Structure 1
């Protein structure tokens, strides 16, 4: 492309919540990140309305969780009822998650984005540029260059100003949503996965506290399926399936919206802030990597919202890719490590998407006879319970075959309250996030020098429940109970909170760490004795 070019470690296109997490995570790791977003500022209206405990730990890791909690609402369950108010299915959200947070929260996305944006702005190595769209991508052996065009959003649409610029990075991250330009410019196709339904989405700002007998869930009424739920503590959402014969302009008009929600709301109680029709889709990119371009979030995958996991899956992508990029950018690991991005994340996302589609089909049944049969199947116990939440099945995971490994590998690791000389609190706040070795006793001091060198190279945090190096006090017993349940001497948790593997009760630490060095494709001298 030629000409004057700005240089970054990572160029990122897109600055929605997934892009914000990505930029903050890379910035906290010390990398120069150039972020380019086509809109002139943060998007002021909500899309996602739910996060879970894993995502909360991700927000915690970038310093955004406290501000987010100002408006987040902890919800105890999400229910599925038929048109007669009979319960078909309850999804339990009442428990405390393994990640150190409540299992699930309902959120108002603009407030979350404000918190994430503040976390990004605290990183001096991250530069955010609004009003720039990617229009070209060129790759070399060790660089990727992006051509950008300046634009402004006007009433008539998005208008390009004619100004252009070029930026170059070692890698390009596409966090630019469902209509990803990075994906298109990288020649990656999006594969439809079969779900495609239009729904009217309406959002309201409460003028007073509101409480309904049925606050959060789906009403599977074949005459018009719908759902309602809280968006944090101050907003609410009502969604209605667009039925055959509906006129989009008519159904999104304020008068029509108020008639649809009149059973619950009046203009005296709430302000209508948005009414639009969305197409709920399921799709996945054929590849999540093309050379030095990588995709995260909706740029890589789309799922219908019936499980509330779309944005959360994107946040998982961002946290996972950040720690791998960090190792590669710092010269510690081979570039081939980035191939595990799709190997790990796509099966996980596909499994969640399949669950969301299955729930969507329950809700989107509009034939009365089929709906009655559906209800009877639930009432008679002929509908199996939802499958367990997926785990990681491949990628940077230990190959050990012992019972402890089988119990924990690829699953989320724990976060509890600990006490050290530095203070007391959630472990990530006290000792820092990143690689964590959780053990019953000091197993590092007796390890081989090579093992200790690798742990040092990866800056592994130690949570040792016994005497010696890395000793912590397990204040609420979280870690002791976890190791007891797994029958493990120790577990090694990755920076994205998933367990790499376990040390069995009768083995040294060295086998686990040797395998990790190979899986990460660590470069010399990290693997030297």
Structure 2
């Protein structure tokens, strides 16, 4: 075994891997990250985050830096060639997570903000310019062999002979769609059957640009395309490749400028910072965990970009896995809890992949007769509205005789006042298991229930309209309205902000704690962690 023994070795350091490293480092675990690129990638891929993702970024101290360059989105529309509205996603509201519902973002800003947060964590090491070449699981750890990556005279990646071996209790593959860790696991992938090739253009305007239509899809069969902001200082256009067009042809900068000319965008008013041809795929790995190897993000799933949820789904993976792995590494629960990771995340991701495919089908239509039929169907109300955004349906969620209406939904975050300070709930009290109670009265717990609360470090927080009995003050009446609208007295939510269960009255709170102790049991001494 190598002397370099870590709690976790992570392969990959994109936004999903950065989030994972930040969450584990914040929890105090010794983490070594290895990334084949010698520096941050620095090029935009994802362009959208929602309120849930902003709350996760908030939890690692990166949200304010992300928001600084983020553009708050109000709508994302699908229009036909004549400009008629086919479908609109309304993003002009405040999300339950304590942030605006949706932002349009420039990914390098996110990477910088997350990297800054990770760099402040003393237990996290970042090793850029190293590629994993061998992974060997052992009984109680994993050995990982890595080689230094250099650059040739023309900038091509070169794997050198310089080699090192490290060991870890767990390995996380955050290494993208062509994941080496996934190859080691040897899992198959379910292919949803959707595949489209588009040209992606990112520009930096050098003077103000204004468009009659912004942030949406132009479902024109002669050339489906889209345009939207990338944060406050960049802009993206995407164009579908038509039959007979090749990636080589479309990768020519002259082609890019010819396509955006219709919008009045030229080298005189914008800088082309990136142009690349992508084939959008839709796949879900059958296995996300094999003993001590785990997958997150694109290593576990890929989806078309038409819902803007690819990176978001990966960040949710990290938030789901991090708290479970934390309890295992601390010896607070049995490693079997990790089996719930894919059970919870895969159905959620699968629903979003299907939603993305259906949205993509609206746009990716190049047959004029099919497009005309599509337009007529929308025009006459024959197309049903999109399904609601998914929540958790199963896994570590309460199932006994308590209020199940909120189970698996996202927990609220409002503004509170406590001990002379005001701010968002998480900024004042932090994150983790939280029992949120309406009013000033906290129920008595049995000895076993209190032991469960103590073992999992569950915070019990009473929120009321005044600070009687040390209750947090509900500054805006947000929590009062939430509890009243849902006819509950308490909610118990997980470290990833999903509600474990809710109680109609204080007498039912103990039942929630009992089931929590059952579903997240103490570590069995014989179990390996």
TM-score, structure 2 normalization: 0.96
3-state SS of the aligned residue for 2:193?
A: strand
Q: Which aligned pairs between 1:345-356 and structure 2 lie closer than 5 A?
A: 345-356=345-356
Detail structure 1 runs of 4+ shifted over 4 Å in the superposition: 442-445, 466-470
Structure 1 residue 32 and structure 2 residue 30: aligned? yes
| Counterpart contact for 1:61–1:433, Cα < 8 Å | yes
> Aligned equivalents of 1:212 and 1:401: distance in 2?
54
* Structure 2: distance between partners of 1:238 and 1:400: 50
Q: 1:469 to 1:301 in 2, by over 3 A?
A: farther
Q: Which residue of 2 aligns with 1:369?
A: 369
Q: Structure 1: how far apart are the matches of 2:3 and 2:157?
A: 25
Q: CA deviation at 1:437?
A: 1.2
Corresponding residue for 2:383? 383
Question: How much has 1:443 moved relative to structure 2?
Answer: 5.6
Q: CA deviation at 1:459?
A: 1.9
What is the CA-CA distance between 1:153 and the residue it aligns to?
A: 3.9
User: Residues 287-298 of structure 1: matches in 2 within 5 Å?
Assistant: 287-298=287-298
* Stretch of structure 1 that moved more, 460-469 or 138-147: 460-469
1:11 partnered with 2:39: no
| Aligned equivalents of 1:506, 1:39: Cα separation in 2 | 53
Residue in 2 that maps onto 1:222:
221
Question: SS of the counterpart of 1:88?
Answer: strand
SS at match of 2:194: strand
Shift of 1:193: 1.5
**8 Å Cα contact 2:434-2:459 kept in structure 1:** yes
Structure 1 residue 401: deviation in Å?
Answer: 4.2
Cross-structure match for 1:438: 436
Asked whether the equivalents of residues 462 and 471 of structure 1 are also in contact (C-alpha less than 8 Å), the reply is no
d(CA) in 1 for partners of 2:443, 2:89: 45
Partner of 1:115: 113
Q: Which deviates more from structure 2 when the two are superposed, residues 472-481 or residues 226-235?
A: 472-481
Deviation at 1:208, TM superposition (A): 2.0
Partner Cα separation in structure 2 for residue 290 and residue 470 of structure 1: 46
Q: CA deviation at 1:456?
A: 2.2
Structure 2 equivalent of residue 465 of structure 1: 463
Contact map agreement 2:335 2:523 (CA 8 A) in 1: no
How far apart, in 2, do the equivalents of 1:422 and 1:290 lie? Answer: 48
**Distance across 2 between alignment mates of 1:58 and 1:300:** 20
Tell me which residue corresponds to 2:491.
Answer: 491
Q: Is the 8 A contact 2:334 2:524 kept in 1?
A: no
Counterpart contact for 1:443–1:509, Cα < 8 Å = no
CA distance in structure 1 between the partners assigned to 2:445 and 2:177 by the alignment? 47
Q: Name which of structure 1's ranges 111-120 and 203-212 shifts more when overlaid on structure 2.
A: 203-212
Q: Within the alignment, does 1:171 sit opposite 2:158 as a pair? A: no
What TM-score, normalized by structure 1, do the two folds share?
A: 0.96
1:487–1:505 contact (8 Å) kept in structure 2 = no
- Spell out, residue by residue over 1:472-500, the C-alpha distance to the aligned partner (whole angstroms, 9 max, x if none): 00111111111112211100111111100
Please identify, of 453-462 and 273-282, the stretch whose mean Cα deviation from structure 2 is larger: 453-462
Structure 1 stretches lacking a partner, 5+ long = none
What CA distance in whole angstroms lies between the structure 2 residues aligned with 1:345 and 1:221? 35
Tell me the SS of whatever aligns to 1:136.
strand
1:49 pairs with one of 42, 47, 50: 47
Gap change, CA 1:444 and 1:454, over 3 Å in 2: farther
- What CA distance in whole angstroms lies between the structure 1 residues aligned with 2:523 and 2:184? 32
